Amino acid sequence: MTGRMIDFETVGTPAPGYLATPDTAMGPGVVVLHAWWGLTEPFRQVCDRLAEAGFMALAPDLYRGKTTAAVEEAGMLASALNSEEERVRGDIRGAVKYLRQHGATSPTSPAADGHGKLAVVGFSLGGAHAFDTSVELAKEIAAVVTFYATYSGLDYRRAQAAYLCHFAENDPYEPAESVAEMEQALRMADKQAAFYTYPGTTHWFFEANRPDAYDATAAALAWERTVAFLNTQLRSA
């Protein structure tokens, strides 16, 4: 398994991202979308762990080099991204294209042009973009995994993905009402969706560099479920 920073083609200037490939140099493709901290170590590690599990993973740097560990600054970075919606979508499209041109395979889930569909894994801010991507690139995306994220205002009837959604029990950013709305949105669109809430956890429970929130037991279970889901959706006939 190898992981490294790369530049990949997108609309306008090349976009940076972190790519991790399995030892076989091929595997089902997964786009990883970081939380509002930016492309920090936990999200690069997600790519590495996916590569260890046999997937080819690429995390586009949606902030183009900016990172933070402070909540207030992260909020400002996330707010600034709202005015760059098309650029962000272009970066994600570019990441999908890169994976499909560089060894990402999923023969059991062919896209419209005969190439394999991919998955998207997103965290908080990145999770919202993962939901959006499943609608915007419906013919490309077979599976979506989100951590503590909702986006109930989309027309999910267009999507062709299955969904796996992880939530914290005590989350002021994504309260139970928001989770219920998200689940209803997917059910109403007749989408395959699994929702898991992890008892006693808070937002960021998966991220080991957030000691105030990290829950090793819940994170391990969420990861086990994530890998099993991706294997089912991208490898199983």
What pLDDT does 236 receive?
A: 67
Percent of the chain at pLDDT above 70?
Answer: 94
**In angstroms, what is the C-alpha Rg of the chain?**
16
Average pLDDT over residues 12-36: 92
Of 106 and 172, more confident: 172
What pLDDT does 25 receive?
A: 76
Q: Given a cut of 70, is residue 108 above it in pLDDT?
A: no
Backbone angles phi, psi at 39, to 5 degrees: -80, 75
What pLDDT does 110 receive?
A: 52
Backbone angles phi, psi at 14, to 5 degrees: -60, 145
| CA-CA-CA-CA dihedral for 133, 134, 135, 138, to nearest 10 | 110
What pLDDT does 1 receive?
A: 66
